[in-house]
Amino acid sequence: MTTLVRRATALSVLGAALAACGTTGAPQAPRPAPSAASAEPSPSPTRPARPPVLAPGPAGLTPVFEHGPRTDGKTVALTFDADMTADQGPRAAAGERFDNPRLIATLRKLKVPATVFMTGRWAEEYPDAARSLGKDPQFEIANHSYSHYAYTDDCYGLPTVSRERMRADVEGAYAAFEKAGVPDPMPYFRFPGGCYDKAALKELTPAGVTAVQWDVVGGDAFATDADAVARQVLDGVRPGSVVVLHCTRSAAPVTEEAVRTIVPELRRRGYRPVKVSELIAAANSRR
């Protein structure tokens, strides 16, 4: 099943008939429809054929997910934002690293399921890493926009994407994933900076995504103290929590070190790390 068909399936399930930053550049246009001859990939045994999504919110708006059930066991989703904007290519070419191979290697070594919210520009800059993550059943790839421009004004100094370009910005990221060879990205979207309003939710409704926020801020962006990041996560976690961290070494240099403290301690406390899709499936089962 092609990415576009899979996303159309997610849209029907939803019933929708209805900080890194840059300064210049525009989101890319939606990807073209793939050919009918595209082969259907075999679904991973740990990745559902139809990813769980939430039903539309009030007035059919894009639904927003912040945490899973608090009483269905001690599960926690560690999520990592892979941030990069359309205009940071020269900085990458000069040697600045927006990826974090050591973090990914540590997550694999610790066998931690994780959801990576990736910008389209990150996938373009690091297609091999994006493809490797997408093919690894330990991870799931979700959408963090193409541009990493904000969807509201006054969002941590980020430039903003115009309202009429919001859906194209989301679709541009999926196009970049497809070009990089990322199979089956999830129908989940994280707003850059976490900033959104009713207008943004309305614009994204036709995209058929569930907006995924968080209830625990890791505080790793521009942090230099790994122990402080670990304490902030561990102090905030509750059953069903969604933790936001980053997979951008230049902007979050101590994340990997913090994870080496966070994961063993979570497990010692009886928590089980899961992907966002598992938390959403649990939330759906309680409706």
Residue 257 phi/psi, 5° resolution?
-65, -40
SS3 115: strand
pLDDT score for 46: 56
**Is residue 77, in this structure, part of any structural domain at all?**
yes
**Is residue 234, in this structure, part of any structural domain at all?**
yes
pLDDT score for 47: 60
**Is residue 98, in this structure, part of any structural domain at all?**
yes
**Is residue 212, in this structure, part of any structural domain at all?**
yes
Query: Could you tell me the mean pLDDT of each successive run of 10 residues in the chain, 287 residues long?
Result: 41 36 37 34 53 95 98 94 91 95 98 98 98 98 98 95 98 98 98 98 98 98 98 98 97 97 98 98 91
pLDDT score for 33: 35
**Is residue 87, in this structure, part of any structural domain at all?**
yes
Nearest to 91 by CA among 175, 192, 21: 21
What residues make up the domain containing 133? 3-10+66-285
Task: Say how far apart CA 209 and CA 13 lie, in whole Å.
Answer: 10
**Is residue 61, in this structure, part of any structural domain at all?**
no
pLDDT score for 86: 79
Q: What is the number of domains present in the chain? A: 1
**Is residue 182, in this structure, part of any structural domain at all?**
yes
The CATH number given to whatever domain includes residue 191 is 3.20.20.370
Q: First CA to last CA across the chain, in angstroms?
A: 28
Please report the DSSP string for 120-145 in residue order: HHHHHH-HHHHHHHHH-TTEEEEE--
pLDDT score for 37: 31
**Is residue 58, in this structure, part of any structural domain at all?**
no
